[in-house]
């Protein structure tokens, strides 16, 4: 999935498609706040995302109904693993150390994280 990294604009569009599960161009445009992007801009983004094999479409006459080819969960799992590989020498422990030291986690959130880790160890 290395060539499938989304730009910020593509992520915004992909969020709409994930949320709707299937969407025609008019449905996608409706979801954008004002000022809405041009149809040509969205068409360009959709084409790039098709080339990355992240979305597909079904044709109905002159209209295309777009759908995700990868789930949000799978996409972000791959993104997270790529980030850990790139910035933390593939070490989840280095990432966890950085994450817990550099975020504003409360004691209860840290305990919840520890409980999640303990559960994974038990399974």
**Are both 12 and 58 inside the same structural domain?**
yes
**Are both 37 and 57 inside the same structural domain?**
yes
What share of the chain has pLDDT > 90, as a percent? 56
**Are both 8 and 52 inside the same structural domain?**
yes
Residue pair 115/109 in contact (Cβ under 8 Å)? The answer is no
CA distance 36 to 92: 40
Per-residue confidence at 107, pLDDT binned at 50, 70, 90?
confident
Q: Find the mean pLDDT for residues 53-75.
A: 95
**Are both 6 and 62 inside the same structural domain?**
yes
Go through the chain and tell me how many residues it has.
Answer: 123
Give the domain range for residue 23: 2-68
Q: What's the pTM?
A: 0.75
Q: Which of 41, 30, 40 is nearest to 7 (CA)?
A: 41
pLDDT at 3: 60
CA distance 73 to 54: 13
* Domain of residue 53, CATH code: 1.10.10.10
E-assigned strand segments in 4-61:
23-24, 55-60
Q: Which of 50, 46, 44 is nearest to 24 (CA)?
A: 46
What share of the chain has pLDDT > 70, as a percent? 98
pLDDT at 68: 97
* Structural domain count, the chain: 2
**Are both 15 and 42 inside the same structural domain?**
yes
Per-residue confidence at 9, pLDDT binned at 50, 70, 90?
very high
**Are both 76 and 115 inside the same structural domain?**
yes
Per-residue confidence at 115, pLDDT binned at 50, 70, 90?
confident
Rg (CA), the chain: 19
Question: Does pLDDT of 16 surpass 90?
Answer: yes
pLDDT at 96: 82
Angle at 36 between CA 35 and CA 37, to 5 degrees: 120
**Are both 77 and 37 inside the same structural domain?**
no
**Are both 21 and 56 inside the same structural domain?**
yes
**Are both 61 and 101 inside the same structural domain?**
no
């Amino acid at each position: 999935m290395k060539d499938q990294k989304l730009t910020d604009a593509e992520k915004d569009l992909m969020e709409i498609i994930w949320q709707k599960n299937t969407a025609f161009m008019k449905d996608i445009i409706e979801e954008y706040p004002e000022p809405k992007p041009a149809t040509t801009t969205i068409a360009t983004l959709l084409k790039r995302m098709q080339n990355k094999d992240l979305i597909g479409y079904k044709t109905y006459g002159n209209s295309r109904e777009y759908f995700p080819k990868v789930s949000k969960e799978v996409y972000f799992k791959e993104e997270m693993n790529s980030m850990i590989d790139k910035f933390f020498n593939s070490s989840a422990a280095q990432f966890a150390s950085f994450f817990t030291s550099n975020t504003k986690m409360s004691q209860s959130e840290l305990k919840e994280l520890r409980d999640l880790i303990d559960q994974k160890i038990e399974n």
